[in-house]
């Protein structure tokens, strides 16, 4: 199994899309990219910790490739919105890819460049950051599989 970590706005919707992929064994909501080690949702939602809401994806690379996960990431949020997605505003909702190794970094950079060249977003700049993995803080249990637990549709807009 391998890991991939993405931030694309509210983690509930991000988790939902990744859980739907064959070859993904788990998608866990959490926080990454900030300075504080003891992180809670109450702290992160203030925007003061520097963390992003992320989903850490455990996947079988023999079944689904990292590039397939990148495609899902790009298709399910707007990577041209700086520090926000839809009505969620703040650095905790930023578009970010945390790479786990050099290969993931190269694939993420290549896919970002390909998306920029595709013209899908016109003249808008893709603001997605691609940064090294940091400490993953698992979100509180009530955030895990939140949409399914509460029988809710995805909260993300599909692009």
Residues 68, 73, 75, 77, Cα dihedral to 10°? 180
Q: Phi, psi at residue 97, to the nearest 5°? A: -120, 120
Reply yes or no on whether 10 is catalytic.
yes
Which of the residues 4, 10, 24, 139 is marked catalytic?
Answer: 10
Tokens of 93: 């909702």
CA distances from 111 to 16, 118, 122, 130 (A): 22, 10, 16, 11
Q: Which residues are catalytic?
A: 10
């Amino acid at each position: 199994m391998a890991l991939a970590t993405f931030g694309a706005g509210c983690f509930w919707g991000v988790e939902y899309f990744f859980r739907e992929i064959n070859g993904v064994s788990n998608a866990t909501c959490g926080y990454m990219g900030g300075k504080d080690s003891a992180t809670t949702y109450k702290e992160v939602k203030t925007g003061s910790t520097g963390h992003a809401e992320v989903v850490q994806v455990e996947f079988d690379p023999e079944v689904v490739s990292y590039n397939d996960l990148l495609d899902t990431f790009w298709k399910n949020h707007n990577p041209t919105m700086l520090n926000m997605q839809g009505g969620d505003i703040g650095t905790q909702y930023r578009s970010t890819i945390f790479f786990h190794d050099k290969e993931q970094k190269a694939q993420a950079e290549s896919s970002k460049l390909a998306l920029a060249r595709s013209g899908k977003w016109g003249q808008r700049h893709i603001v997605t950051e691609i940064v090294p993995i940091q400490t993953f803080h698992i979100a509180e249990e009530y955030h895990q599989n939140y949409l399914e637990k509460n029988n809710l549709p995805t909260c993300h807009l599909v692009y």
